[in-house]
Structure 1
Amino acid sequence: MIGVEKGAARWTLTIDRPGKANSLTSAMLAELADAAEAAAAAQVPVLVLTGAGTVFSAGADLDEARAGLARDGVWERLSGAIAAFPGLSIAALNGTLAGGAFGMALACDLRIGVPGAKFFYPAIRLGFLPQPSDAGRLIALVGPARAKLILMAGQKLSAEEALSFGLVDRIVAPEDLAEAVDALAEAAEAAKPEVRAAIKAMCGG
């Protein structure tokens, strides 16, 4: 349920569970973390995360969440692996982003979305806490008040609101998503590893 496409300059990880809105199981999260760590070890220039179908991810599989997945350390392992990736990481949000799936997107360097996508983190409505690092990364992008709007008020953002808040960096038509990823990845893929790493460090990691 996780597709891993390995190229010399780019690895693409695809959440592929469209019949369940790409909701994430513990095994899927571990696969994603394994792949992100392997991409870092291989010094791949660019790492892309995306979803199959019209939803990026609805977050945790609710049955597994109630059984303990909501508090499992695998979420932090995954977001930490993406945040530590030394190249350029891009979340190609092909549709709605919800719940715990926020963590992997927030840990990416860039996020691009599509019109019509919704962005929400309903942990408070379900009686769960956000993952420990998610609030800090969200605040860094959108500020404390807007983070509370999402996490405490449980509000859904439209793609346009997400763009204006700084949660996503660009909105592109679904049919243009792959081309937009190519355009964002081109410079990093062509750069010398030491230049790429130094620029990322200058930008705060």
Structure 2
Amino acid sequence: MKILNPQVTADIDQGKPIKLDLGSGGYSRKGFYSVDHLELDGVDILANLNEPLDLLPNNSVEYVYSRHALEHVQHLLPLIREIHRITKSEGLVEIIVPHFSNVYGYSDPTHVRFFGLFSMYYFVSPENQPDLRKVPSFYTEVRFIIDSIELQFYRSGLIDRLFAGIFSKVVNRNIYWQNFYERRLSNFSMPGKYDI
């Protein structure tokens, strides 16, 4: 890990909470520091997400955003622990990953995993998991609270554009409808991506 942008170090040294965009490829969101494993223009922190984020102190980050990066990480559990360690207790972690029903996800040879509706509940205390399905929480000691999960549907063709909006509203009414989609319809409908 290497901090390329001296402003990151200055903010950390001054105790300012920072915002990180993990795996952004140098195109981070406004107000976020870009974290990537390639030293591209615009990358603020050079880091392999399979290794500890050891230059970032505990509780130094107020917002972690990751869009289509976690599916590339070989060692997900240690990364989740690191995200938990660096994020303030009242901080926000927003993760966007491809749902296992996304056929395009299988085309990328760098993808090492896929995610489903209950994947992130493995990092939630059992009492905060939906009654619909309790998953084991003994793989790691870190605990998050899930604010929301949304299944989004690609709108790449005419049929997708016609039905995705309506379909998305129905499926995302609540976790029961999301579960019904995942269990009964995901193999027969538009490819989804998974947002938390």
What is the TM-score of this pair, normalised by structure 1?
A: 0.35
Higher share of residues assigned helix = 1
**Larger radius of gyration between Structure 1 and Structure 2:** 2
